[in-house]
Structure 1
Amino acid sequence: MSVLARVFEEHGISTLVVALVREHAEKVKPSRALFVPFPYGYPLGKPNDAEFQHRVLAATFDLLSRSAGPVLEDFPEETGTTDLPQASSITGSADPIKGDPANEVTALRAFYERWVEAQGGRSAVGLSGIPQRRFRGMVRFMQSYARGEEVDMKERPEDVPLAQFIRYCVDDLKAFFFEARMAQRPDTEPPELHTWFWGETAAGQMVAGIAEHMKSSGDAALERIANGIAR
């Protein structure tokens, strides 16, 4: 996002960046960036805490008052959770619903739809362009990819490489599972959510397998994508 901010600025559009990785912002030097000490996937900090999130947004928009840049400032508060379990740190132990992520999708769908309704129709699902009602097919596609088979989906745009589209699918699947779990167990904290996904679901094990397949390719670009999906 820091790179995109610089492109927009070159065309006269003022930008603000919420940076989860301070080192990246230091290197790219966007015009105005606020570093936030939150886990990946939580740029505004605490989920469902509007007051806290508004403080993050206020601190971000306050950067527009700076007379010169580039500006990189630190948000002074933390959420209490600074690290989240990743796939590499958890050994999958459960074999729920006979170990089939497609069956997990079916079992969690009602909870996911309950979450979306409670959020007024908002959801983090949608990056891949595949409707959640077709996620069973998306799972089969991802399983075939993890096995090294030549596969594709009609929803993949022609200008999006297959590996990048896989990442979009992974992001959608994780969002689906996380939102369903939060509807199922509203008091679940982020670390518990990640431990559940990576350690107790077949979907988490499948995603970890996709990451391993990418890492074993010897392709540096695929390795970077693998590091992104397995966290």
Structure 2
Amino acid sequence: MLQMMHQTRSLDETLVSTAVSQALEDAIAKAKIIQAQPINDIALQLATIELNNAVATFKASIVKGTELDITALETTITAAANLLKGDYETTNQPAEEVDAGQKFTTSDSENDLEDAIDVAEDAAKTVDSVEALNAAIGVLTAAMKKFEASMMMGTFVDVSRLVDDIEDARQKPDGILVKDLTADQVSSEFEFVTSNDLNTFLEAIITAESVAAQYSSKAFIEQEIAKLSDPGRCI
């Protein structure tokens, strides 16, 4: 694609000055006039020489653009940097030692992406060809995908509170009468529960013990702790 020198240059453009281009056009126009109405052989020869010189000058003045648009690389660098700002933790602990539901990656994975960003930033300053530009974008994009693939989810749930509450809950029925009566049938000096209410409470303890042994989620454990902390909800 031929462009005049005063326009923005890019790597895929060939350029020539306006003056040289105009000189060639003038030489061509003059040669056409003489060709159509030759004055004499000398004039024709001079016009031919002038045209050949104009063509040679034109060819010699053609240059290759040196400006390279690195916008795509800069955009990729920004996207990679934003990944490092994501909602995750960096730890070398295994998933079973990271809180359930917490997204995390290793320090090595994070360092690899940081290194790839550094390399891409250097390339943005020195890259001098479309091929090298595309290669830099490709390398950084691959590093971003590897980083995203390194993300894991923690699975650890601390059941120590639940275990303690189970022990406390087991002590609560001690000393409480079990009577299948209504409140107005029992003296005010006694505390009592019905057998049905007691069974409901004991079932809550069994459920909590099952959760402690094979917990499924932190939210469910919190729910069971709430039940056991207030026996009146079950008794």
Q: TM-score, normalised by structure 2?
A: 0.19
> By percentage of residues, which structure has more helix?
2
Q: TM-score, normalised by structure 1?
A: 0.19
